[in-house]
Structure 1
Amino acid sequence: MTSQLPKLFREFRHIDQLIAVTPELKKMPVIEVSELLLLIDEHQQLRILSCFSPKQQGAIVSDFPIQSQMALFHASKTRRFALIFENMPSENRADLFPHFEPQEQTAILPFLSKTVREDVIQLSAYPPETAGGIMSTDFATVQQNMTCAQAMEKVRSDAPSKRTVYYIYVVNDNQTMQGFITLKDLIMAEPSVKVSEVVHREFIFVYAEEDRESVAQKIEKYDLVALPVLNADHQLAGIVTHDEALEIIRAEQTEDMEKFMGIMPDKDELDYMATSSWKHFKKRAVWIITLAALGILSGLIIHGYESTLENFIILALYMPMVADTGGNSGSQAATVVVRAMALGQISAKDWLKILWKEAKISLLLAICLGVLAFAKVLFLSWETPIPALYSLSRIAFAIALALSIQVITATIIGAGLPILVKRLGGDPAVAASPAITTIVDITGLLIYFGVTTMFFAL
């Protein structure tokens, strides 16, 4: 039956057909229910959601993309959506709330409980790129003067969700964090034992103002289920869970990939099909048009050597090979360097070591590709007309030498440009693929015609 549900949600004739299968939906993982509801419109979603408990409704809608959550909000009465909103995880509420217009925020707040209202306002105050902007307030705290039995009762009363209950945070009367205990510690300890006797006082934490990428790196490095977030007074403000860290890593990788390919990143991760063609155009056009304008320089260089190409037609045949090889070499170097920077393996301070390493690599590549280019020219152009004063082997050597120099310079440019951008305070991914390809195309043509002019005294 479950395997037939997607087809039913696409082809149903009456909403009652979907309501009839809600018992099956309640047995399914929440994410799968969310995916099914995204196949129908917002008014139909509300009908199906009403068959679930408020807590289940919040969990289902929290797995919707932001734009689908907003569509559901606009299709609902404010009081109806407030019920769903209140039962969403705190970090999802904090993500969605800033997308409301000011008057919409004012309209929904009165329908929320005092605790949730204060929580939403507090979390929404942090910039979205910081630890505070992604943290959850769904956690349990105990005090170190409690017994383990009292601490267990306190955990039950705090009622954190099952995905955040593994760590219980120990605080004092001012909510200053003293350490943590695990759920296992609490269960295995004698009920009369004080929390202070089992607390772990050495712990990893982040401040609320720290960049979210740094948060994800710490969770990954120390293999944590959750990471506490402290304010300037060392008070426990929230936690960031491992699943939130995975979302951060995915979002950062998507942003870097878009920048790497010359696409302007969006503050929200948008669905491809849900994004309009106009928005796709705006994200791509800036870099493409800018680089196309720079590409005019390539045309000017070729135009300047027009008479050379008329006499040496064979040179025109191998221009694309030199340009493509340079672009590939530069993009490879840039990819490796940007990736190493993202993983924290290198920094802009290591620029000399990086360039020296890439120079050695490029020299080896240049030798291999130069030999291959030399053989390629001899094999493919033995019937091509050439001026009587020059031999094919000499022309092949000139082309191979130009390609080898191009590989070395393109690799150094590919490695050096992201480092330069980083030193200037920019994102190194911006300087990658399309920009490097355009730059090495220009330098490649200058090298190509410079070498051949020198060889043949043109």
Structure 2
Amino acid sequence: MTVREKQLLIDELLEENNLIELVPVLQELPVVEVGEILGQLENEHLLQILPKFTVQQQGLILSEFDFSRQIELFHLLDRMTFAEAFENMYSESRADLFQQMTVEEQTMLLPYLSKLVRENVIKLSAYPPETAGGIMSTDFATVLLDMSCEQAIAKIRADAPSKRMIYYVYVVDKDMRMQGFITLKDLMLNQPETLVRDALHREYVFARVDDDREAVASQIARYDLVAIPILNAEGQLVGIVTHDEAIEIIRAEDTEDLEKIMGIVPAKEELDYLDTSSWQHFKKRVVWIVSLAAVGIVSGMVIHHFEGVLDKLLILALYMPMVADTGGNTGSQAATVVIRAMSLGQISVANWFKVIWKETRIALFLSVCLGTLAFAKVVFLSWETEIPAALSLGQVAFAISLALSLQVITATIIGAALPLLVKRFGGDPAVAASPAITTVVDVTGLLIYFGVAVAFFSL
């Protein structure tokens, strides 16, 4: 049966509510897909299907659900049944769920957990979620320095059923201090009697439990690692962060930065668009939009101040949107480039002069291109527009194109400088992007636009 045929069969069985035939089909799918499918079911149907899977499978499926669904199941299932599934979750997912529970819910669950799991989940939950300790897993394999390759393989074979990641095997001493790592390939290719100490890799990349999680994910990406070991202050191995966790971190951080760039207040946890109420979406967006709308009153004040100029030269009103839009676009573009370079570690606040100088040169090229285009646009579109007899269309077109060129230069510099300035004072540069820059650039653009008109035509 092809993947397409299997998906059609699942959809048909779900539509018919044929749970008996659905389970065998689901058991052939990867756990991630099973979690997605079961996550769409009503609680009534989910409670009928879940017991059809083994306890180990239930734990992995539970790991794929979002926190709200996991908490729902905690209250719907009896404590022992939930505890058995909970113990078979991925260790980092287990700790994350435990952190999301209220103190009362934690107290209700802990008595049903084995001593080992209870200690593990309390230890992992103690780390702040934004640190390496808060995202690490304890599902890793270790061998001792003085073991032979044959003994190491035997230990891994005994431990493997409970370990999620055994591509790297971490070599420790009797006090769990990290000595290096060895791969399964190394163990297989060396002679059985070869000691691990003679085959291990002593140069390795690691992170500390209190390192920022984004920095840890960057290390995994930079060195192309499957996982990175996490050490405490004594150099002891306390966990690992896997590449799939790193992908989730990078995705979450990118989402958060994108929301900030667009003036959306980030949520504490990632929310599904359709499952999130309109009221929640409203609360995430309203703060910045209302704040910037209030600041935008300044633009109205500028236009009001130059009403007399508009009365004398009505053609200026026709091209105000063009100047404002061009400034907003170039400013936002510069900010996006600078913020991205900062997030990748390519530039810092210390490089502010180089950044501003580079963006100024770019802005000069853009201003010549866009200014020429604006001149041609005014001449082509406004040749029938009425203008004062003392002026020519060419003069007006030149003034508008000059104003637009100056707007491009100032908007680009503002777009590049504002994120650096926010970072310098300890803020998040992402919040200085699109909506904020557009509002600031609108005001400066109007001042430039009318300032050039007054200077040129003595209005």
State the TM-score, normalized to the length of structure 2.
0.97
Contact kept? 2:141, 2:163, Cα under 8 Å: no
Looking at structure 1, the residues matched to 60 and 258 of structure 2 have their Cα atoms a distance apart, in angstroms, of: 30
Question: Hey, what does 2:243 align to over in structure 1?
Answer: 242
Looking at structure 1, the residues matched to 203 and 160 of structure 2 have their Cα atoms a distance apart, in angstroms, of: 25
Question: Is residue 2:313 matched to residue 1:312?
Answer: yes
Between 124-133 and 270-279, report the one with greater CA deviation. 270-279
Question: Is residue 2:219 matched to residue 1:218?
Answer: yes
Looking at structure 2, the residues matched to 383 and 245 of structure 1 have their Cα atoms a distance apart, in angstroms, of: 61
Contact kept? 1:9, 1:36, Cα under 8 Å: no
Q: What is the 5 A alignment of 1:405-416?
A: 405-416=406-417
Q: For 1:125-180, what per-residue CA distance to the aligned partner results, in whole angstroms no more than 9, with x for missing partners?
A: 00111100000000111111111111112212322656510111111111111111
Question: Hey, what does 1:272 align to over in structure 2?
Answer: 273
Contact kept? 1:264, 1:283, Cα under 8 Å: yes
Contact kept? 1:9, 1:40, Cα under 8 Å: no
Looking at structure 2, the residues matched to 86 and 43 of structure 1 have their Cα atoms a distance apart, in angstroms, of: 23
Between 148-157 and 168-177, report the one with greater CA deviation. 148-157
Matching residue's letter, 2:361: K
Cα gap change, 1:410/1:80 in structure 2, threshold over 3 Å: closer, same or farther? same
Q: What is the 5 A alignment of 1:34-433?
A: 34-159=35-160, 163-433=164-434
State the TM-score, normalized to the length of structure 1.
0.97
Between 195-204 and 23-32, report the one with greater CA deviation. 23-32
Q: For 1:398-441, what per-residue CA distance to the aligned partner results, in whole angstroms no more than 9, with x for missing partners?
A: 10000000000000000111111111111111110110001100
Matching residue's letter, 1:126: Y
Q: For 1:161-219, what per-residue CA distance to the aligned partner results, in whole angstroms no more than 9, with x for missing partners?
A: 56510111111111111111011111111111111100111110000000011011100
Could you say what secondary structure the match of 1:165 adopts?
A: strand
List, as ranges, runs of 4+ consecutive aligned residues in structure 1 with deviation greater than 6 Å.
none
Looking at structure 2, the residues matched to 393 and 9 of structure 1 have their Cα atoms a distance apart, in angstroms, of: 72
Matching residue's letter, 2:288: W
Cα gap change, 1:162/1:234 in structure 2, threshold over 3 Å: closer, same or farther? closer
Looking at structure 1, the residues matched to 391 and 13 of structure 2 have their Cα atoms a distance apart, in angstroms, of: 73
C-alpha RMSD of matched pairs (Å): 1.2
Question: Hey, what does 1:2 align to over in structure 2?
Answer: 6
Could you say what secondary structure the match of 1:434 adopts?
A: helix
Looking at structure 2, the residues matched to 74 and 258 of structure 1 have their Cα atoms a distance apart, in angstroms, of: 33
Matching residue's letter, 1:227: I
Looking at structure 1, the residues matched to 324 and 217 of structure 2 have their Cα atoms a distance apart, in angstroms, of: 39
For structure 1, the residue ranges without an aligned partner over 5 or more in a row are: none
Contact kept? 1:9, 1:39, Cα under 8 Å: no
Question: Hey, what does 2:16 align to over in structure 1?
Answer: 12
Looking at structure 2, the residues matched to 322 and 25 of structure 1 have their Cα atoms a distance apart, in angstroms, of: 58
Looking at structure 1, the residues matched to 342 and 330 of structure 2 have their Cα atoms a distance apart, in angstroms, of: 19
Q: CA deviation at 1:279?
A: 1.2
Question: Hey, what does 1:448 align to over in structure 2?
Answer: 449
Matching residue's letter, 2:255: T
Q: CA deviation at 1:68?
A: 2.2
Fraction of identical pairs, as percent: 62
Cα gap change, 1:126/1:335 in structure 2, threshold over 3 Å: closer, same or farther? same
